[in-house]
């Protein structure tokens, strides 16, 4: 059984970038990674990675302050309340940002090459991976026993 209060990311992936909390894409994944880091079970996942940093830039949330709040045992809903109080973003901006984040792609050639190398590394023939969300979902699935 998966314990989301103290996820073991060596046994299962964090929630998808597409899962939303309070309209925020990526927030549940970020919380999973933070909780796993706190418990020493983050595996290959990293809190405050470049995608996390996009969330922090949009919300104005300090990653160290967030980690401290999570360490105090706050639930997802309590963390959402704290993020909303810190960010003070109207819901229409949150929805637009989340839609943008789900579609965010690699941009230049270097990013495309990196995505291609991840797909090839899984011996996948997928040609429908366009965004980081697509890639993370595929990588999470294949890394934990799914078949390409």
Q: Do 73 and 16 have their domain in common?
A: yes
Q: Do 20 and 57 have their domain in common?
A: yes
> What value does the mean pLDDT of the chain take?
92
5-21 confidence digits (pLDDT tens): 778 999 999 999 999 99
Q: Do 113 and 74 have their domain in common?
A: no
63-83 confidence digits (pLDDT tens): 999 999 999 999 999 999 999
Q: Which of 39, 55, 89 is the last residue of a domain?
A: 89
State which residues form the domain around 135: 105-148
Q: Which of 5, 12, 13, 69 is nearest to 39 (CA)?
A: 5
The verdict on residue 100 lying in a domain is no
The verdict on residue 38 lying in a domain is yes
Q: How many domains does the chain have?
A: 2
86-125: burial string, b at 16+ Cβ within 10 Å, e else: ebebeeeebeebbeebbeeebeeeeeeeebeebbeebeee
Q: Do 51 and 117 have their domain in common?
A: no
């Amino acid at each position: 059984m998966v314990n989301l209060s103290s996820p073991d990311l060596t046994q299962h992936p964090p929630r998808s970038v597409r899962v939303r909390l309070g309209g925020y894409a990526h927030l549940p994944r970020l919380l999973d990674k933070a909780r796993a880091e706190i418990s020493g079970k983050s595996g290959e996942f990293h809190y405050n990675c470049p995608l996390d940093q996009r969330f922090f830039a949009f919300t104005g949330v300090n990653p160290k302050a967030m980690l401290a709040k999570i360490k105090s045992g706050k639930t997802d809903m309590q963390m959402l309340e704290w993020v909303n109080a810190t960010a003070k973003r109207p819901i229409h901006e949150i929805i637009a940002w989340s839609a943008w984040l789900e579609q965010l792609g690699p941009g230049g050639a270097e990013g495309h090459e990196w995505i291609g190398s991840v797909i090839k590394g899984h011996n996948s023939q997928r040609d429908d991976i366009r965004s980081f969300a697509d890639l993370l979902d595929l990588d999470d699935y294949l890394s934990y026993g799914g078949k390409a």
